[in-house]
Amino acid sequence: MKQLRPAVLAGIFVVAGILSWAGARLWNAYGTLPGVPLAAPIVLGVIAAVLLATALSMRSRLKAQRERRPGAKGVEPLMAARAVVFGQASALVAALVAGMYGGVGVFLLTDSLDIPARRDQAWYAAFSVLAGIAVIAAALFLERVLKLPEDDDTTPESPARA
C-alpha cells in the first residue's frame, strides 16, 4: 500500500477550492447560494478524533508489543491495514470537502459579510477547513504509526551464492 503524499492532498484541496469558488460565484449570480451546514465542522472533528484515538491506541499497543510486556495485546495485521485504509480515505475526502468549503468561504469573504447569515456561513466554512486539516493531520499520523520498518538487508550472502 502506498503512503499518502501531502502534495496530492494539497492539490486536491486547491483544485476543489478553485472549482467551488467559481461555482459559488456562478450560483450567486442566480440569486441564491447553497449554505455551509453547521454539522460539517462537527462531523469532520469527530472523524479527526476517531482517527487520532485509533492512532494513539495502535501506537501504545505496538510499543507494548515491541517491549514484550506481559499481557500485551498485539495489533492484528488486517486490523492495521483497515485502519490505514480508513485513514487514507478520510484524508482524501477531507481534502476535497475542506477545499470545497474553503472555496465557498473565500467567496463569502470577498462578496459581502454585512449580511449576518453570510457571516455565519463564512465562520462555518472556516471551521470546516480547520476540521478538514485536523482529519488530514490525524490520518497522516495514523499512517506514520502503522508504517512498517524498512527492511535493512544486512544479512550476509549465503555461501552458495558467493
Q: For residue range 20-64, what is the model confidence (pLDDT) as tens digits?
A: 999 998 888 887 777 889 999 999 999 999 999 999 998 988 888
pLDDT in the model for residue 159: 53
Residues of the chain with pLDDT under 50: 151, 158, 161-162
The pLDDT, as a whole number, for residue 32 is 77
Q: Contacts by 37-41 with C-beta closer than 8 Å and gap 24+?
A: 37/124, 38/124, 40/97, 40/101, 40/124, 40/127, 40/128, 40/131, 41/124, 41/127, 41/128, 41/130, 41/131
Give CA–CA dist 42/120, Å, rounded: 15
pLDDT at 162: 46
pLDDT of residue 155: 53
Instruction: Kindly report the average pLDDT of the chain as a whole number.
Output: 86
Longest dimension (CA), the chain: 81
